[in-house]
Structure 1
Amino acid sequence: MQEVYIKPYKNNKLEGKQKVLIKDIATVSGPKHLKGVIEEICIFKPQVTKITHFVISTLKIIEAIQEKFPDVSVQNVGELDAMLEFNPVKPKPHPVWEWIKLAVVCIVVFAGATVAIMAYNTDVSMAKTFTTLYKVFTGEVSESPAWITIPYAIGMPIGVITFYNHIGTKKITEDPTPVEVEINAYQDQVEDTIIDVLTAEKRGQYEE
Structure 2
Amino acid sequence: MSKTVYIRLRHRIQSVPETSLVLADLAQIAGAENHPDLGNLKIHDVTASDRTVVVIDVMEVIRRIQQVMPGAEIQTIGPSQTVVEIVYERKKRKLVYLVAVWFLLFIGAAMAIINFHEDVSMQAVHQKLFYMLTGKKDSDPLLLQIPYSIGLGLGMILFFNHVFKKRINEEPSPLEVEMFKYQMDLDQYAAMNENKESVKKLDDH
TM-score, scaled relative to structure 2: 0.84
Alignment-mate amino acid for residue 204 of structure 1: K
Instruction: Report how many residues are paired.
Output: 200
Query: What is the 5 A alignment of 1:70-149?
Result: 70-86=70-86, 90-91=88-89, 93-95=90-92, 97=93, 99=95, 102-149=98-145
Counterpart of 1:173?
169
Counterpart of 1:190?
186
Aligned structure 1 segments of 4 or more residues deviating by more than 4 angstroms: 98-102
How far apart in 2 are the matches of 1:45 and 1:72?
25
* Larger CA deviation: 196-205 vs 73-82: 196-205
Note if contact 2:32-2:38 (Cα within 8 Å) is conserved in structure 1: no
Q: Matched residues, percent identical? A: 26
Give how far 1:189 is off.
0.7
Counterpart of 1:203?
200
Aligned in 2, Cα 1:17/1:199: closer, same or farther, shift over 3 Å? closer
How far apart in 1 are the matches of 2:189 and 2:55?
11
Q: Which runs of 5+ in 1 are unaligned?
A: none
Counterpart of 1:68?
68
Note if contact 1:51-1:85 (Cα within 8 Å) is conserved in structure 2: no
1:61-84 deviation digits (Å, cap 9, x = unpaired): 111101110122222222111122
Aligned in 2, Cα 1:94/1:196: closer, same or farther, shift over 3 Å? closer
CA RMSD between the two structures: 2.5
Give how far 1:203 is off.
1.4
TM-score, scaled relative to structure 1: 0.83
